Chains A and B, each alone.
Chain A
Amino acid sequence: AQSVAQPEDQVNVAEGNPLTVKCTYSVSGNPYLFWYVQYPNRGLQFLLKYITGDNLVKGSYGFEAEFNKSQTSFHLKKPSALVSDSALYFCAVRPSGTGGFKTIFGAGTRLFVKA
């Protein structure tokens, strides 16, 4: 079965430190990969995506993500965390081909950035 795993329910980091939110997936073919962020009582907001090309993709608010095909991972990173980055982060995978409209979301990782 196709799946997306975010192994950490919560990540705690001090402001100014680098952060990593992990994501691995089990999907056949060459899927599209996404990260979304959700602030309290809001809908999800798109952060960045990997479709093809350079394994390091840059997105909104200084976030970036590294695609690793051999490890089927797509970890979200930021060099210096801000308190305002505290939110719920979702990794999502969209299988290519005929299943391309059925995005699979991870369960989410809550990020706490402490001042």
Chain B
Amino acid sequence: NAGVTQTPKFQVLKTGQSMTLQCAQDMNHNSMYWYRQDPGMGLRLIYYSASEGTTDKGEVPNGYNVSRLNKREFSLRLESAAPSQTSVYFCASSALSYEQYFGPGTRLTVT
């Protein structure tokens, strides 16, 4: 039981490049989330998927897209990376709307 896994762990992009962050959970949770963590700002919700087949915007969705591929997988795509997207990205999952279980994070630097 791996919980929530994320790939890659680290990534460096140049401005304008694209990439997809992958997330998978093996806890049979219905809901999945993408957050970014910036110093002094806590976690901010980018997108979430309440259940398979649905996605909704969170607090800071601009510049990102998501895909809920199936119940296990929820990916985050940056179409044209910007330096402002330098951050640590966390994926999480939960059963219904209770506590969330987080992956280890992806540290992204955009130069």
Contacts and interface: CB of A to CB of B under 8 A. Distances in A.
Contacts of B56: 101
Nearest to B48: A101
Contacts of A32: 97-98
Interface residues of B, number: 26
Contact of A108 (B42, B97, B102): B42
A83 interface: no
B92 to A, nearest CB: 8
B90 A34 contact: no
A7 to B, nearest CB: 13
B48 A102 contact: yes
Interface string A77-115: 000000000000010001000001111011110000000
Given A102-B58, A105-B43, A107-B41, A49 B102 contact: no
B97 A105 contact: no
Interface of B: 4, 31, 33, 35, 40-45, 48, 50, 56, 58-59, 90, 92, 97-105
